[in-house]
Every structure is written in structure tokens, then in C-alpha cells.
Amino acid sequence: MSMQSFKYFEEILMYLSVLRYIFKSRSKMGLYDLNKKAEPFFRQLINLTYFWDLQNLNTIQTNYPAIDLGDTVKRVCVQVTAENKSSKIKNTINKFVEKQLYKSYERIIILILTEKKNYTANFDTGGFFSFDAANDIIDIDDLLSAIENLDIELLEKINNYLSKELSSVVRLFADKGSILSQIPVFSGIKPLESKAFFEYLGLTDEELEQGKIEVLSLYEKLASLSKRSREYLFLLIDRSKKSVAVGGINHLYALPADIENYSSLTRAESNEEFQVLEANGLVYYEPEEYPPRIEISFSIDIGVDLFMMIREFLNDSNKLERVIVHCDFGLLNG
């Protein structure tokens, strides 16, 4: 596993470990009302992991019997549950047989949101289909094992999905008043190939690899800031002008007086946000220019400034806001 793959997997492990903690905590209190809320989230995660096309069956029929998710092409279905008792699994299989769902699905997977046991019970299918407790009962550890073996592109997709969805999912499942329930929602989408953007820049193959690293670096830097800091940075970029460098890299600058007219922040709050951005190497103050101005720059090794080029590429204030404020770097894919 490459260092980048390891980094993606490490983040995925952290995300799913948080969810597992919440599920186990609620189950200890006898609260098993997780499956309906969890179905949409895990549907997409399972599809990405196993290359299935599961659909939420409860949107087709309310309280669909025995199963929650189904792929009629691959003929596989999933029940999502927080209960891990053998009796629960037996009841599911009995209902599956009773409703003759084996005619549509050859395999049923039981996803345990808490932690599966070492099952020794006999799960009788009546000979209508095969059920292997060792492979057909899975939990979050099994999902992680499958994810660990995926290639870097899929690891990146799963990591992007979790980073976008996790905070809202945690807030949904966590007990009200707990620290986890107060996690702010973050809707960032990490850059994938940024194909359209790099085509716009006209990079060589050698520059392309470096460009991907630099764009990801910008995403991570923005994602680490508070939303207010990103909003202030967006205002700077959106209201900026283009400087013409002599022997250097063109970048953007904004006039403080102009920004003050459009910002909802007080002067003290603006100064605070400027200091945060300056500490992160995204802006600096140039008092020797007339009039004095705020320089905005994220210059990279391939000889361009990302802020300036992203603004020119998007050519749309609303899209620029989505990239800078909401970290939706998916817009660079075209």
C-alpha cells in the first residue's frame, strides 16, 4: 500500500470507528433504532466497496419484508441491523423464505452495525438458497477489511464520501447534548483527477502529478480552516484584481477598503481572519504598494497560482464560493 493509499485508509478507519462507537454505545442502552436511518449511508458505502448497485427497498415499499437493500442484477440483498443475536438473524432468514425473496436474490448479507458474534447456530434456509455465517454476516470490521484491499482511486472515492457525509451522519445518530452531536457539518469533496482543470492549465504529464499533489494540499489547507475564515478568503478572492508579475507568478490582490464595504465582519473580526489566513500562508499584507493591498496567493511548483487559475477556470462566483467556502473540489473535474 502506497503512502497516499495508507493515508486514505487511515482516515476511513477513523471515520468508521467513530460510527461504530456510536452504534455500540446506543445498543448498550437497548436502542436499536439505527437501521432505517443508516440504510442510505451504508447503501452507498457498500456499493463503492463491493461494486454493487443496491437500491433502498423501503423507498419502493414501506417496511419491505426481511431486507433493506437489494441489487436485482447481482442478485444480492442486505439487511442493516444493530442487533447481533442469532435469533434476529434466524427471523430474517425465515421471513426471507416465507416471502420467497430467494426468487429475486441468491444471497442475503446481514450487516451488523455494532459487532458480530462467533455464530455457531444453524441458520436453516430450507434449501432454497445458501447462507454462510462466516461470509454473509458482516460488520464494520469486515467492511474495513474489504476497503483496505481496494485500489487508490476507490479509496479516494470512499474517503471523499465519508468526509462529506460523516459529520451529518454522526449528528443524526449521536445522543443529543453529547460532544459528537455538536460536530459541525462539513460538506467538502476532495479533488479526484481535477481533469478539466488540468486540461485548462495545459499541463505536461510530469507537471500533472505535481499538480494533483498541490491541489490536494490546497483542499486540505482550506478544510482545516473554520467556515468563517473560508468565507473571508472567498470574499478576498471574489473581489480581487489580477497582479502582473515581472519575472514571477501572477496572483491576486484585494484592496482592504473595498473588502470592508462588502464584508459583514467588523474590522476587528476581519483582522482576526486575516491573521488566520496569513498564518496559513494564503495571504499577506503589502503596505509598500499604493494603495496598500492584501496579496492572495497559493503559488505552486509548476509555475501558477492556484487561486487565480481556479477563479479563471470556474468563471462563476457561485462555483468559486462552492470551492473555497464548501471545499467542493469536485467542480474541478468538469
| Three-state DSSP class for residue 129 | coil
130 shares a domain with 244: no
Residue owning grid cell 427497498:
57
Rounded-to-integer distance, Cα 224 and Cα 218, Å: 10
132 shares a domain with 215: no
Residue 107: inside a domain, yes or no?
yes
Say which residues have a Cβ less than 8 Å from residue 328's Cβ, sequence separation at least 6.
187, 188, 189, 322
Rounded-to-integer distance, Cα 50 and Cα 150, Å: 10
Residue 49: inside a domain, yes or no?
yes
309 pLDDT more than 70: yes
Q: Look up residue 13 and give its three cell numbers.
A: 478507519
Q: Exposed/middle/buried for 133, CB within 10 Å: 0-12, 13-18, 19+?
A: middle
Task: Give the model's confidence band at 291: pLDDT under 50 very low, under 70 low, under 90 confident, else very high.
Answer: confident
- The whole-number average pLDDT for the span 305-309 is 94
Q: Which helix (H) or strand (E) holds 295?
A: strand 293-296
Number of domains in the chain: 2
Say which residues have a Cβ less than 8 Å from residue 114's Cβ, sequence separation at least 6.
20, 23, 24, 27, 82, 83, 84, 139
- In terms of pTM, does the model score above 0.75? no
**What range defines the domain where residue 317 resides?**
187-333
Given 130, 165, 200, which residue is the final one in a domain? Answer: 165
236 shares a domain with 136: no
Rounded-to-integer distance, Cα 300 and Cα 150, Å: 30
159 shares a domain with 19: yes
Rounded-to-integer distance, Cα 46 and Cα 93, Å: 21
249 shares a domain with 315: yes
Sign of CA dihedral 115, 120, 121, 122: positive
Q: What is the CATH number of the domain that holds 202?
A: 1.10.10
Task: Give the model's confidence band at 190: pLDDT under 50 very low, under 70 low, under 90 confident, else very high.
Answer: confident
Closest Cα partner for 292 from 256, 323, 268? 256
Residue 177: inside a domain, yes or no?
no
- The whole-number average pLDDT for the span 154-159 is 88
pLDDT > 70 in the chain, percent: 88
293 shares a domain with 194: yes
Orientation of helix 317-324 relative to helix 306-314, angle to 10°: 140
Q: Look up residue 169 and give its three cell numbers.
A: 451522519
Residue 178: inside a domain, yes or no?
no
Q: If you average pLDDT over every residue of the chain, what do you get?
A: 86
Quick: pLDDT tens for 7-16: 888 888 988 8
- The whole-number average pLDDT for the span 196-208 is 89
Q: Look up residue 18 and give its three cell numbers.
A: 467513530
33 or 320, which is more confident?
320
139 shares a domain with 10: yes
Most confident region among 35-39, 162-166, 275-279 by mean pLDDT: 275-279
Say if residues 260 and 267 touch (Cβ distance below 8 Å): yes
Amino acid making up residue 162: L
Residue owning grid cell 467542480:
331
Given this model, what pLDDT does residue 319 score?
92
Given this model, what pLDDT does residue 185 score?
52
Say if residues 323 and 188 touch (Cβ distance below 8 Å): no
- The whole-number average pLDDT for the span 221-233 is 86
Given this model, what pLDDT does residue 179 score?
52
Residue 176: inside a domain, yes or no?
no
161 or 331, which is more confident?
331
Q: Exposed/middle/buried for 288, CB within 10 Å: 0-12, 13-18, 19+?
A: exposed
94 pLDDT more than 90: yes
Cα–Cα distances (Å) from 187 to 8, 166, 323, in that order, read 17, 9, 11
- The whole-number average pLDDT for the span 204-218 is 89
205 shares a domain with 142: no
193 shares a domain with 97: no
Residue 119: inside a domain, yes or no?
yes
Rounded-to-integer distance, Cα 318 and Cα 304, Å: 23
Residue 170: inside a domain, yes or no?
no
139 shares a domain with 209: no
Quick: pLDDT tens for 246-289: 557 889 999 998 898 888 888 888 888 899 899 889 999 988 88
- The whole-number average pLDDT for the span 183-190 is 64
pLDDT > 90 in the chain, percent: 45
Say which residues have a Cβ less than 8 Å from residue 321's Cβ, sequence separation at least 6.
234, 238
238 shares a domain with 94: no
169 pLDDT more than 70: no
198 shares a domain with 153: no
Residue 59: inside a domain, yes or no?
yes
